[in-house]
Amino acid sequence: MNHLIISCIGPDQTGLVDTLSKVISKHQGNWQVSSLHHLSGFFAGVIEVAVASEKSESLISALKAIKGLSCQIEVAEPNMPDVISNLVLEITANDRAGIVQEVSSVIHHQNGNLIKLVSSHDSAAHSGQDIFKAKVQIAIDDKSVDHLISALEQIADDLMVDISR
C-alpha cells in the first residue's frame, strides 16, 4: 500500500472535488485526510490517499490529467511513524505582515514541530480592525511547553494564546 500526498490548485469551478473523488475511487484509492479551500477564486487542496502499489502510477497519471487542475503528487513512506501533536494553540492578534513567520520562528527555536496551521483573517467586531487568528498543532517535549508559551507571548502585547492538550 502506498500513501500519496496530493497537492492541487486551479481556478475554482463546480465539481472539482467530485472529479477528484471519482478519479481516486476509480483507481481503488482510499481518501484518508484532506484540507480543501476556496482562496481568491482558486481551489487549493491537499489530500492523502492510500492506494495499492500496483494502482499508484495509473492514479497519479489520471490525477495529473484532470483539466484545469495542477497536481503535484509525492509517494510517502507508509512505514513512517505517526507524529502525535501534543499541544494545540489558538492564537489571536492584530493582523500584520510577518506574523506567521514570527510565530513559526518561535515554535522552531523552542524545538517544537509545527504539525498543522489553520489561519484566518477577520475584522474586529467593534473597531473593524484586522484580526489574525490561527489554530496551531505542535509536537513538543513537555519540558519545553512553558518556554514556548513565554516566547510566544513576547512576540507582541496584542498576541493572545489559548492552550489545550
User: Is residue 53 located within the same domain as residue 103?
Assistant: no
Residue 149, beta-bridge partner list: none
Distance CA 75, CA 60 (A): 10
DSSP 158: T
What total number of domains does the chain contain?
A: 2
Range of the domain at 140: 87-164
User: Is residue 93 located within the same domain as residue 60?
Assistant: no
| pLDDT of amino acid 78 | 61
Taking a C-beta distance cutoff of 8 angstroms, is the pair 11, 68 a contact? yes
Residue 108 placed within a domain: yes
Report pLDDT digits (tens) over 49-99. 999 999 999 999 999 999 999 999 999 976 555 555 589 999 999 999 999
Cβ count within 10 A of residue 80: 8
pTM of the prediction? Answer: 0.79
Report pLDDT digits (tens) over 31-40. 999 999 999 9
Report pLDDT digits (tens) over 119-156. 999 888 888 889 999 999 999 988 888 898 889 888 88
Taking a C-beta distance cutoff of 8 angstroms, is the pair 20, 8 a contact? yes
Q: Which helix (H) or strand (E) holds 21?
A: helix 16-26
Residue 82 placed within a domain: no
* CATH, residue 150: 3.30.70.260
Taking a C-beta distance cutoff of 8 angstroms, is the pair 70, 10 a contact? yes
Which of 44, 76, 108 lies at the terminal end of a domain, its last residue?
76
